[in-house]
Amino acid sequence: MSNSKDFIEVKGAVIELLRAGTFRISLESGQIIVAHLSGKMRLNKIRLSIGDQVKVEMSPYDLTKGRITFRF
């Protein structure tokens, strides 16, 4: 059984805005990934711009994609 807490949480910064609510994120470790907005951020109309600090959840199975869950 899978638990919903099986995600890796990391901090990063937005470096590029892509289409359809996706962003290129530079993580603290130097890795660059593609991430999309979580559902609650879309519902509350949270907007991101280049340079914003964000918290990203990543699956341990695919470390090149993630979901943005929080903007600092």
Cβ–Cβ < 8 Å for 12, 43: no
Using CA atoms, how far residue 61 sits from 7, 8, 69, in Å, is 10, 10, 18
Question: What mean pLDDT is reported for the chain?
Answer: 93
Report CA-CA distances (Å) from 10 to 1, 20, 31, 64.
24, 22, 11, 13
| Phi and psi, residue 16, nearest 5° | -155, 140
Q: Give all domains of the chain, ordered by start, each with its CATH number.
A: 8-71 (2.40.50.140)
For the entire predicted model, the pTM comes to 0.89
Angstrom distance (rounded) from CA 39 to CA 37:
7
Residue 55 in this model has a pLDDT that exceeds 50:
yes
